Every structure is written in structure tokens, then in C-alpha cells.
Amino acid sequence: MKLSNRITILCSSVLAAVILSVTVALLLFAKNTILSLSNEQVQRKQQTLRTSFSEMANYYAANSDSDAVHTSLVRYCFTRFSDQTSVLMKDGETVVSSVIVDPSAYVQKDGVDYGEAMPVAVTVQGRRLLIAGSSTSIGGKTYDVYVVEDISDVYTRIRRMAWIFAGVSVATIALGAFVVMALVRKSTKPVTALSEAAREIADGAYEKRVAVRTKDEIGALGEDFNRMADAVETKISELEERNERQRLFIGGVTHEFKTPLTGLLLHAGLLRRANLSDDERDASLAHIESQTAWLERLTQNLLKLTTSDDEIELQAVHIPDLLDEVKDGVEPKLNERGATLSVQCETETLTLNPELWRSLLNNLIVNAANAYDADAEEKPITLTVKDKTFSVTDYGRGIPTEAQSRIFEPFFRVDKSRSKKQGGSGLGLALVKAIADAHGASVTVESEEGKGTTVSVLLP
Amino acid sequence: MKNRILVVEDDAAIRDAVLLNLQFADYDAVAFDDGKKAADALECDHAYDLALLDIMLPGMDGFELFGLMEQYSIPVIYMTAKTDSASEIKGLRDGAEDYIVKPFDPLTLMVRIEKVLKRVGKWNAVYRVRDVVVNTETHTVTKDGEPVELQPLEFDVLIALLRHKNMTVSRERLLSEVWGFDYLGETRMVDVKISALRKKLGLEDAIRAIPKLGYRLEER
């Protein structure tokens, strides 16, 4: 069952119970009030009747000589005050009466009573009667004075009142239930909206948000929901971006492998099937050797690139020692190109992964050496380490501004043919970036065409 | 006259191999390693029957070069490492005759070149090997000026060997080029035709059987 329906039914039930019990209590109270008013009325009426009658009868009939005169005087006196509810009885005999019952049968008389007479309620022949009676002495003789009031009308009125009460309370309950339902619907609407939004997000509409209109718990839930959706959207787009990058990377790798593979295939085919001269055979073999070396470099770098993605081990490294190792390592390549490296170090120890960092510096230095035209007279390269910043500077060709943002992309080459001749795999700077990223370091490039380039890596 | 073919490919290994293959197949080939250089050279000399273009080129890429080729009515075959259909469609929609995806097999390249040359009507129909001249248009073969009678299948086997001159052609390849794929496995039929050709044309030493590989028609 829906939450809104359940709350509506619960609230309506409580409302109905409250209204019904209040109504019943009111009804009972009204009934008792009306009945006690009637009682008082009848009591007062009987008292007035008895007192008036008794005074007058004692004045006129107390000293009557004969019973007949006495009785007639008494009757006369009684009728002076009586109405259709009055009854006068003497020794169980009715003297004056215009009612349908014998009141003495219902009222207990314990001797002569001048005091109060509590009315007795009886139902006779479908009529509700209030009977009040008491005795009085007139000329030594005891008379009973009764008032028999028919209060059937009062009961009818009470019943009518009860019906009106019932009608009003049913109407109130219905209205109340309707209002409760509307309120509950209104207050659960944001919950419905949340659930719809959640479904849409689950179906892939990650940009979906809910409108927050209130400042209550549901509003807070809406805000939290939106925050969660933000986080999910960001994460998903990050993943998609990463996926796209990976897809492009794999595309790039495949493309890079195809060129050396084509060369290998063609020359192997020539060697196997063609009738080659000795010189041609030598040239073919040289091509095969260089293409294979290129593939080997490519795979080495790819391996480093993928392993630098994993969690790396950091350790405190004595930087001057590390720089010496780097210098020894790149020396042959620099000599080959006629470049010279000068190193300045103002830092003692830093926390990094020495293997990967050597590879990073090595790549930057070889890259700097390749920035010079082959016929340049001098090819100076400086490596400076200050605080946590490693900078490699050359005074070569420089990088065009529009290419500067792309040089860290795998397989991006500012000048394709030259880079290949120099033995680049197209992965050097991508590797630098990946290693820097793995260390949480930032890489910046400052370059001007014709003047040179400085690449700086700042450890966190 | 030999068909003249322009090759623009920046990778030296591929360029040299393609050149050798073209020379063996009796083409006159000229190669460049840079799109710009090729474009400049075209200004003075554009008498090419076909161009083999790499797409990713320094200087000027293959798609840019295509405009020039159209200007000089040189049919183009792209040699591309790009397998994505987008670049294939671009190349062909712009009017390239064909494309071949790296890494490719040299014999396939030769067949494609021949097909394109035939389609555009520039196919040089005359093959020569030693003192034998074969005219594919008139279907005639002469040895030392004297006509020689060949059966149709013998003629086709000779053409297949000439097409891949100086290259070893497997029996399977000969079967599929001459008889079609239905006959794969029946390699003995090839040997029969080869021995007939050797006898009729006196090419006993020129058509060499290469153990485990197939036959090779040698010029020298």
C-alpha cells in the first residue's frame, strides 16, 4: 500500500475516533442537562402545586363539617391550581386526575412529606413520563399531590439532536479525511518526485535533479539526493572520459605498431621470396633490425606507462646520487647527438620512486637533446633541481604555442618525420606525465619558438 | 613502356620495400618521404600513371596531396595504417581508386595496382622477360621475334609469374589467380603448366622451383 494512502487512512481514523467520541460525549451531556432541567421543572411544578393547594385547602376546607363538603372544597381548591398533568389522590383513591396512569403505583410514599419530591421516570404505553409526588395534610386528612409530565417530546428532540450530531460529525470526518489526504499527497509529492528521479538516473539520465521547495526533512533529503546525483554524474563522466582516453590510447598504440610491422612484413617477404642482390639484402636486414628495435622501444615504454598507473612505492632518495646515475645513463645518447648536460642541484633528499624518476629525467633530457637541429654547433642542456622542482632546459627549436597543450598526449609529435628519425616512440613525454601524475607532481612547459624550452616538474 | 608510379611514404623501411617490389614487377617507381617535397616535384614532372600515398605524412598529408593528383589526373591508392572507417570513407568519397590497410602483403598490393591501372586504361599490356615478349591485349607471345602458341591456362600462369617477376609465387597463389579458389589443393595442375611453359619458351633456368615456396621467374 502506498505511504500516502496509509497515512491518510491512519489520520482519518484518528480524526473519526476523536470526532465521534466528542460527539457522543456532547450528546450524552446535552441529554443529561435537558433531562435534569425537566426533572427540576417537574419538581418545582409539583412543589408549587402542592404548596398552593395545601394553603388554600387548609384555609377553606380544614374545618368542614361534613366529608362531602370537605371533599368538594378540596377538589375545588385543587382545580384552582391544577392542569392536565396534576393528580390528587386520597388513600389510594383518585380524587382529581386527567392522566392515563395511576401515579401512586410508581412513587414510593413514606409518610407525609413536605419536602422535595424527586421525580421518577417511567415509560407507560410508549410514552415517557416524569412523575413527582408528595403528601400533604388537609384538615387531618392525608392527600397525595402528583404531577405526571409527559416528556416524550423531549426525547424526540434529543433523538433529532443525535441525528443532527451524527450527520455533522460524518460530514466533518469526510471533510477532515479529504483535507488530510490532500495534505499527505502534497507532503509526499517530493518523495514521489525523488523516486521518479532516482529511476531516471538508474536508467542513465545522470543529469536529472529534483527541485527542492521546502526546508524540512524532505527538502534536506532532496538536497542530499541532488548532491549524490552530482557525485554520481561526476564519477560517471570521469569514467567515460577515462574510457575514451583509453580507447584513443589503444587506437594510437595499434596505429603505432602497424608502421614497423608493415616494414617488417614487407622486408621479410622480400628476403624470403625475392631474388635480391647482396646490397639489397643487407639494406632489407638493416630495415628489419631498426624496425624491431623501434618495436622494442615502444613496448618498453608502453610497459612503463602501464605500470606507472599502479600504486607506486616511494622512498627517501639522495638526489645528487640519483642525478649522477641519470647522467651516466644518458651520456651515450647525448654523445651520439653532440649534446652536453650540466647539472645543478640544491636539494639533498626527496621522497620518490627512484626507478620511475630516473626514467622521467632520462626522457626529458633526451627530448631536450632532440630539440636541437642536427647541425647545431652547440647543444647545451641544463638540469636544475631546487627545493622540489626539477627543470630541464634546452635552447633549441622550441614548441609552437598551439602544440604545447598536446605534447603530453601519447603519440603526439610536433614534427612527425624528424621525431621518428631521432628514434622517438611518441611516448616519451606521455611517460613523463604519467610518472609525474603517479607522484602527484605537476608538469609545466615554458617554450618559445626559436629560443628553447624549459620543462619543470614540481613534486608535491 | 613501363608504367610509372609515384610513392609517397615517410617510413624508410616501407618505402624501400615497396620500391623494390615495384621494380621487380617491372614498374618505374619514384619515391618521396615528405608530402611537400612530392608536391613540389609534381610541378615539373607529373607523368605518373598511379600514386601510392600514405595518409599521415610530414609536410602535407595524403588527403591534401589528393587534390594535386586530381589536377594531374593521377589515380590514387592510399596506404593507410588507419583502420577506422571514417578515414577510409573520406579517402574513397574524395575519389581515391582504392586503399590498402597496413600491414599489407606485397603481392596483394601488386594485384591492386594492376587492377587500378586496367580500370583507368593506363595498363601497359606488354611484359618482357629475357627474349620473351608477352602482349596481354593481343594475347600473343613471341620468343626472339617468333610467335609461340600457348594454351589459355599456360598463358595465364605465365602472366601471373610475370606480374610477380623476381618474386617467389606459391602454387596456392598461382591456383587462386589463374584457376580461382575452387581449385585450391590441386597443386599438381600448376606443375604441369609450368613444365609446358619451360619447354615451349625455353625458360628452363628462368622459371625456378624454390623448395617449399613455389616458383620464381628470374630476370637475371
With an 8 Å Cβ cutoff, are B218 and A275 in contact? Answer: yes
Q: Is the pLDDT of residue A160 over 80?
A: yes
With an 8 Å Cβ cutoff, are A417 and B58 in contact? Answer: yes
Angle, vertex CA A99, rays to CA A96 and CA A103, nearest 5: 80
pLDDT average, residue stretch B99-127: 84
| Order of strands across the sheet that contains A340-345 | A340-345, A380-386, A389-394, A452-458, A442-448
Question: What's the start-to-end Cα distance of chain A, in Å?
Answer: 57
Q: pLDDT by residue (tens digit) across A386-410?
A: 989 999 999 988 888 888 888 888 7
Ramachandran class of A379: left when φ > 0, alpha when ψ lies in -120 to 50, beta otherwise: beta
Residue A454: what pLDDT? Answer: 92
Q: pLDDT by residue (tens digit) across A22-62?
A: 999 999 999 899 889 988 888 888 888 888 888 888 888 77
Grid coordinates standing for A306?
A: 602501464
Q: Which residue, A197, A184, A190, is CA-closest to A221?
A: A190
Residue A318: what pLDDT? Answer: 92
Residue A308: what pLDDT? Answer: 63
Which chain B residues contact residue A426 at CB under 8 A? none
Cα separation, A231 vs A244, in Å, equals 20
User: Which residue from B minimizes the CA distance to A266?
Assistant: B17
- Domain extents in chain B: 4-119, 126-217
Q: Is the pLDDT of residue A216 over 50?
A: yes
Q: Is the pLDDT of residue B95 over 80?
A: no
Which chain A residues contact residue B24 at CB under 8 A? 274-275
Q: Is B14 on the interface with A (CB under 8 A)?
A: yes
User: Which residue from A minimizes the CA distance to B213?
Assistant: A273
Domain at A206-307: CATH code: 1.10.287.130
Residue B82: what pLDDT? Answer: 66
Assign domain A311-458 to its CATH architecture: 2-Layer Sandwich (3.30)
With an 8 Å Cβ cutoff, are B20 and A274 in contact? Answer: yes
Q: Is B10 on the interface with A (CB under 8 A)?
A: yes
Q: Is the pLDDT of residue B2 over 80?
A: no
With an 8 Å Cβ cutoff, are B105 and A275 in contact? Answer: no
Mean pLDDT of chain B: 84
Spell out the alpha helix ranges (H) of A203-277. Answer: 217-273
Cα atoms in the 13 Å half-sphere on the side-chain side of A73: 19
User: What is the Cα Rg of chain A in Å?
Assistant: 58
Residue A33: what pLDDT? Answer: 92
* β pairing state of B4-8 and A389-394: unpaired
With an 8 Å Cβ cutoff, are A269 and B81 in contact? Answer: no
Q: Which residues of A205-231 are buried (b: 16+ CB within 10 A; e: fewer)?
A: ebebebebeeeeebeeebeebbeebee
User: Which residue from B minimizes the CA distance to A273?
Assistant: B168
Shortest Cα distance from A454 to chain B (angstroms)? 26
Grid coordinates standing for A405?
A: 597543450
Q: Which CATH number fits domain A3-166: 3.10.450, 3.30.450, 3.40.50, 3.40.1000?
A: 3.30.450
Q: Among A119-133, A244-258, B3-17, which range has the highest average pLDDT?
A: B3-17
Q: Which residues of A108-117 are buried (b: 16+ CB within 10 A; e: fewer)?
A: eeeeeeeeeb
Cα separation, A262 vs B81, in Å, equals 9
Q: Is the pLDDT of residue B86 over 70?
A: no
| Burial of B133 from C-beta contacts in 10 A (0-12 / 13-18 / 19+) | middle
Which chain A residues contact residue B218 at CB under 8 A? 275
Q: Is B130 on the interface with A (CB under 8 A)?
A: no
Give the least confident one: A218-222, A249-253, B88-92: B88-92
Q: Is the pLDDT of residue A114 over 60?
A: no
pLDDT band of A299, cuts 50, 70, 90 = confident
Q: pLDDT above 70 covers what percent of chain B? A: 92
pLDDT average, residue stretch A170-181: 91
Residue A254: what pLDDT? Answer: 79
Which chain A residues contact residue B103 at CB under 8 A? 258, 261-262, 264-266
pLDDT average, residue stretch A120-143: 84
Cα separation, B78 vs A257, in Å, equals 18
Q: pLDDT by residue (tens digit) across B51-69?
A: 999 887 877 888 888 888 8
Q: pLDDT by residue (tens digit) across A225-269?
A: 899 999 999 999 989 988 887 887 787 777 778 888 888 989 998
Q: Is the pLDDT of residue A123 over 50?
A: yes
Which chain B residues contact residue A269 at CB under 8 A? 17, 105-106
Residue A358: what residue type?
Answer: R
Which residues sit opposite B208 in a β-bridge? B216
With an 8 Å Cβ cutoff, are A259 and B105 in contact? Answer: no
Shortest Cα distance from B106 to chain A (angstroms)? 6
> Cα-flanking dihedrals φ and ψ of residue A350, to 5°?
-140, 160
With an 8 Å Cβ cutoff, are B103 and A280 in contact? Answer: no
Residue A70: what pLDDT? Answer: 85
Cα dihedral A286, A289, A294, A298 in deg (nearest 10): 170
Which chain B residues contact residue A272 at CB under 8 A? 168, 213
pLDDT average, residue stretch A73-78: 87
> What is the CATH T-level fold of the domain B4-119, as seen in this structure?
Rossmann fold (3.40.50)
DSSP strand E in A270-371: where? 315-318, 340-345, 349-352
Q: Which of B16, B99, B100 to mutate to test the interface with A (most CBs of A within 10 A)?
A: B16
Q: Is the pLDDT of residue A111 over 60?
A: no
pLDDT average, residue stretch A302-311: 72
> What is the CATH T-level fold of the domain B126-217, as seen in this structure?
Arc Repressor Mutant, subunit A (1.10.10)
Q: Is B70 on the interface with A (CB under 8 A)?
A: no
Give the least confident one: A282-291, A304-313, A365-374, B105-114: A304-313
Cα separation, A378 vs A65, in Å, equals 170
Residue B84: what pLDDT? Answer: 57
Contact by Cβ (8 Å): A274, B166: yes
User: Which residue from B minimizes the CA distance to A418?
Assistant: B58
Q: Which residue, A176, A86, A166, A182, is CA-closest to A131?
A: A86
Shortest Cα distance from A336 to chain B (angstroms)? 21
Cα separation, B210 vs B170, in Å, equals 9
Residue A419: what pLDDT? Answer: 53
Residue A25: what pLDDT? Answer: 94
Cα separation, B7 vs B48, in Å, equals 10
Q: Is the peptide bond before B103 cis (omega within 30 degrees of 0)?
A: yes
DSSP B113-132: HHHHHHHTT----EEEETTE
Residue A227: what pLDDT? Answer: 92
Residue A118: what residue type?
Answer: M
Secondary structure (3-state) at A294: helix
pLDDT average, residue stretch B118-131: 80
pLDDT average, residue stretch A324-348: 87
Q: pLDDT by residue (tens digit) across B151-164?
A: 888 898 888 888 88
Closest Cβ opposite residue A273 in set B57, B103, B213: B213
Q: Is B64 on the interface with A (CB under 8 A)?
A: no
Instruction: Express the helix, strand and coil content of chain A in percent, nearest 5 each.
Output: 60, 15, 25
Q: Among A134-143, A421-430, B88-97, which range has the highest average pLDDT?
A: A134-143
Which chain A residues contact residue B21 at CB under 8 A? 266, 270, 274
Q: Which residue, A282, A284, A280, A273, is CA-closest to B211?
A: A273
**Secondary structure element (H or E) that encloses residue B29, with its range:** strand B28-32
Q: Is the pLDDT of residue A427 over 80?
A: no
Q: Which residues are within 8 A (CB) of A174 and not within 5 positions of it... i.e. 6 or more apart?
A: none
Q: Is the pLDDT of residue A112 over 50?
A: no
- Domain extents in chain A: 3-166, 206-307, 311-458
Q: Is the pLDDT of residue A83 over 80?
A: yes
Q: pLDDT above 70 covers what percent of chain A? A: 95
Which chain B residues contact residue A415 at CB under 8 A? 58
Q: Which residue, A344, A351, A340, A345, is CA-closest to A438?
A: A351
User: Which residue from A minimizes the CA distance to B10?
Assistant: A417
